[in-house]
Amino acid sequence: MTPDTSHEARGKLVDFNQPAVKVWTGLAIFAVILSALTAVFDYFPGDVTVARMLQAISPGEHAWAETVTDTARNPGRYALLALAVIVAWAAYTWRASFAGIVAFFTLIGFDLVGKQLFGRPRPSPDLIDAPADPTGYSFPSTFAMVYVTTFGLAALALAMAPRGPVRIAGLAVCILALLVGAAARVVLGGHWPSDMIICYLIGFLWMTLLIRLTWLIPGARKLDADTAESART
């Protein structure tokens, strides 16, 4: 689903003959199936094993995980969004920034609705180290939606940017942040590993689709031309 700026790609919004589109479609179907299964299964195979392993190797009283979790709460989440939007614009184009902003707010909305829709309970203290009286639902994860639309947005934009040491370093930082963030929520017993993986997958798929859909915005191509002209001058 990576946007193609060629004349042919502009003439057709979605070309199902392209391998990238086929892969995106397959992953989207996979994400829908996995999401639906969270309403049936409290956890997936491997969730308990991975969660126990992460908790076993986590140092101390998991204070680091609490600190990481706090970064996705208000007002920190909006600071992350602002930084991600700047990086996305600089690394790719305004299209990535616009898609990131839309994805951020729509996925937060999906999180609110999805929790009631899927009703997956929090990890049980009988299985892992989790709060004795867990409240709320495990899927979707608000934290995951915030991180995938901030660090994930920056990673996506950097992945589409020209190659270079700065790009590679930035991409590595973003990927590390996503992994550490997911681990933090699992260590604290707030989510299963599958919750985080599915939410990350949904976030990346949604953002790539939104970037493609920016071609439908009136005046979008003129903005591209004006941006390119400003860059040359």
User: What are the tens digits of pLDDT across the range 104-153?
Assistant: 999 999 999 999 999 999 999 999 999 877 889 999 999 999 999 999 99
3-state helix, strand, coil in the chain (%, to 5): 70, 0, 30
pLDDT value for 6: 41
- Identify the bridge partners of residue 120 per DSSP, sorted by sequence position: 139
Residue at 180 is within a domain: yes
Amino acid at 70: D
Number of domains in the chain: 1
- Structural element, H or E, at residue 137: strand 137-139
Does the residue 198 lie in any domain?
A: yes
Give a yes or no: residue 8 inside a domain. no
Confidence band, pLDDT 50/70/90 cuts, at residue 14: low
> Does the structure show a pLDDT above 50 at 70?
yes
Residue 146 in any domain: the answer is yes
Whether residue 168 is contained in a domain is answered as yes
What confidence tens digit (pLDDT) does each residue in 200-216 have? Answer: 999 999 999 999 998 88
Q: The domain containing residue 87 runs over which residues?
A: 16-216
